[in-house]
Amino acid sequence: MDTTSCSHSATRLPAPALHTTALSCAALATALALAAWVSPVRAAPAASTTVAAPAASASASCPDLLQREFPRLQDEKPQALCQYAGKVVLVVNTASFCGFTSQYKSLETLSSRYAPRGLVVLGFPSNDFGGQEPGSNKEIAEFCENTFNVKFPMFAKSVVKAGQSGLNPLYAELGKRTGQTPKWNFHKYLVSRDGSEIKSFGSMTDPLGQTFTQELERLLAKP
């Protein structure tokens, strides 16, 4: 409302009311003018901060070979192999009643010795060779812990022998890339940190022997 509108309206009112209205309009105009003069200038909104997205997804830094999940031996809870990305990975198929079962001790020693430098041993029990792993996952887990104090990751029993139905997809890929498949228990695959290099070793290769440890040392030295 401006003062002109107030004056026009006020001319039609009695004298007392006219005087009051005129004062009200004048006061209103003064108040509005004063408010406009003292009203603070609103600050411009602060520029928003944008957090840059990661340059690549987690899977992009995980080798294709490891982009798989397998149930853990102890409780069959799914485990993503990508958690081991960036490590040198030793994949070995195991059995509890084999002539090579004592290699569990060597594998655990190898794991504890080289884990600080980036090695991880992954055990995959299998009953494919000689029926030497007939027990349940729980029984296998108890055997590994109680007999050899195995602490490296172990996974549920699976098929690792080429040509059989239900073949473990990790073993299918390892066989495809190396041209070598397990012929017995405790066959070993040594995988570089980026998954680009894979070495295959037969059951008779001692995990603590010079042939194996030299190759392991070489892969651990690579970024």
Q: Which of 25, 62, 82, 98 is catalytic?
A: 98
Predicted TM-score of the model (pTM): 0.74
| pLDDT for res 59 | 54
**pLDDT for residue 27 is more than 90:** no
Q: What is the average pLDDT score of the chain?
A: 83
Burial call 95-118: b when 16+ CB within 10 Å, e when fewer: bbebebbebbebbbebbeebeeeb
pLDDT confidence tier of residue 176, bands split at 50, 70 and 90: very high
The set of long-range contacts for 132-139, using a CB threshold of 8 Å and a minimum separation of 24, is 132/95, 132/96, 132/97, 132/98, 132/185, 133/94, 133/95, 133/96, 133/97, 133/98, 133/157, 133/185, 134/97, 135/96, 137/71, 137/73, 137/74, 137/76, 138/74
For the stretch 78-117, pLDDT in tens is: 999 999 999 999 999 999 999 999 999 999 999 999 999 9
Lowest-confidence pick of 37-46, 126-135, 150-159, 180-189: 37-46
| Percent of the chain surpassing pLDDT 70 | 73
| pLDDT for res 154 | 98
> Does the active-site annotation cover 98?
yes
**Domains assigned to the chain:** 3-29 (no CATH), 62-221 (3.40.30.10)
User: 186: alpha, beta or left, given left = phi > 0 and alpha = psi -120 to 50?
Assistant: left
For the stretch 33-51, pLDDT in tens is: 444 444 444 444 444 333 4
As a whole number of angstroms, the distance between CA 90 and CA 107 comes to 9
**pLDDT for residue 210 is more than 60:** yes
